[in-house]
Each structure stands twice: as structure tokens, then as C-alpha cells.
Amino acid sequence: MAIIEPFWNPKTDMSGFLFSIKKVHREAYFDVSDIPETVLPFFSFAYLTDGEVLIEIEGKPYLCQTGQVLIIPRNVPFRVLHFNRNTGFECGFSLRVLKDVSYECLHSPQPVLQSFTPEDASFTTALLEVIYKSYQQKDYFVTASALDLFLCRIKPREDHPDNAIVSRFLELVFDRNNKPGKVSTYASSLCITPNYLNRLVRAHTGHSAMDWIEISRLNLAKSLLKQNQLQVSEIASAVGIDDQSYFTRFFKKSEGITPTQYRDQVLSKLRHSK
């Protein structure tokens, strides 16, 4: 599993920030256990032409997938929960670069997640290419004009009740105050059957409910292994697996190494970085 590089340096003074756009092409699962919670003093968005990223924004999870854009308001805390491949664009902008600041998406009290039809997605990709190339060429008039055109196409929409159930499920699964549980446990909390929960989650995310539980377990396990304070058996229990042997097999199946080997690698890197 690869390590994702931070796009925004938290140590940088961003008070004078106006605009930046990055084209990304990452072809792997990424280790998100070291990515801290972030608060940016400007608007930011991710648009994906492939892959998916799950981001918790003010305690609520937002899953952005292929053909979707996620706009995060300024000064709102967020953290990455899951990162699987990522092709598309990452952008940050201040209102000072816009010709018009009346767009709906800039005044929504919540983050905005929008899906595009294949035809609209092709146009959006081409539009962001224009923004990216014009910015690289320092043609800021074209950059601002294309950014305005992009933002005027983003329309906040009310969530369908099914989306709310899936969102609540993901929120429960990634709640670090409780260890990851069983599908039936979450279904009971949501007052629906396990089969119905599985159908909803798969229909809306492309993954089963159990897939998300295992992703949450793995992320939590890696975070705990890096702390070097708990025994492997204690970490297994903390992620909801009582059998240490099963936990080792589960971890190795995903990472290709045992939990102990993973911890040794992390500690070795820390020693060499000093």
C-alpha cells in the first residue's frame, strides 16, 4: 500500500492564498493512517475521473467516486478515511479569484457532492483541463473564467433517504469511539435488515457493507501498530477481531506482510529518518 503525499502543507502560511490546481494520477490503495485532520482557509474540491476517496467532514462521511466532484467549504475540518486509486483534479481557490461569488455551491452550509452523467463528466473533465493548462501557462483570465463556468454547473441537492442511511452506516463504521462491528450490528442500529443494508451500501458505493468494515479495521489496525504501545493481540481485539491468528491472516491478505512485520517497517523508517 502506497503513502499518499500531502497536497497542502499545514506549516505553510496560506493567508495570501488565491488559487492552485493539481492533476493527480494515483494507481493504488493509500495509507491514510498518518493523514491528520485538515482545516483550509479557502474552498477546495476533488473531481475524480477514476477511483474513490472517503472524506469525513465535520463528522459526516462523504464518498466521492468516479464522475463526481466534492466541494469542501473553507474553514471546515476534514480528514481522509479511505483512498483507493485517484485520477482527476484537486483544486483550492479563494473567493478573490472569482468574477461571481453568488454560485449556490459557495453558499451551501454543507459540503457539496455532485454526480455527473457520462456526457457531463466528459465536459467537466475537459473544462478542468482548460483550468489546469491555463493556470500552468499563467493565463489567469482564462483560469478564472473557466473556474466560474465550472462552479455555475454545481447545484446542491437534497439527499435521498437511502443516501442518508448509507452515510450513517459509514459514519458508524469509521467512528473511532467504537470498534468495528458486524453487518448485523449496524443494520440493527439503523433499524433495517442486514440484507437490505448490504443492498443499499453496494448500490450506492460499489462495495459491500463488509468491505467497508474491513477497510475501517485495517486503517485502525495500522494506526494502532504505528503507536507501538499495544500488543498485536490487543490491537486485534481493538479492531473487533478476537482471534489473533485470524487477525494476522486478515492483515497479511491486504498488506502482504504480518502486523509485526508492518510495525517493524514503520519503526525502522522512523529510526532512519532521525
Strands 2-3, 112-115: pairing is: unpaired
pLDDT tens column, 1-37: 444 444 455 566 777 889 999 999 988 777 787 778 8
The answer to whether the CB of 66 falls within 8 A of the CB of 103 is: no
pLDDT given at position 5: 47
Q: Could you give the 3-state DSSP secondary structure of residue 24?
A: strand
Residue 123, C-alpha cell as written in the block: 465536459
What integer is the mean pLDDT of 172-197? 94
Q: Alpha-carbon distance 212 to 164, whole Å?
A: 16
Find how far residue 64's CA is from the centre of its chain: 7
- pLDDT band, very low/low/confident/very high, at 160 (cuts 50, 70, 90): low
Q: Which residues of 206-215 are buried (b: 16+ CB within 10 A; e: fewer)?
A: ebebeebbbb
The answer to whether the CB of 7 falls within 8 A of the CB of 36 is: no
pLDDT tens column, 73-119: 999 999 999 988 889 999 999 999 998 999 999 998 889 999 999 99
Q: To the nearest whole percent, how much of the chain has pLDDT over 70? A: 93
Is pLDDT above 50 for 136?
yes
Angle at 176 between CA 175 and CA 181, to 5 degrees: 70
Is pLDDT above 80 for 273?
no
End-to-end CA distance of the chain: 23
Which domains are present in the chain? 2-152 (2.60.120.280), 161-273 (1.10.10.60)
Burial class (CB in 10 A: 0-12, 13-18, 19+), 169: buried
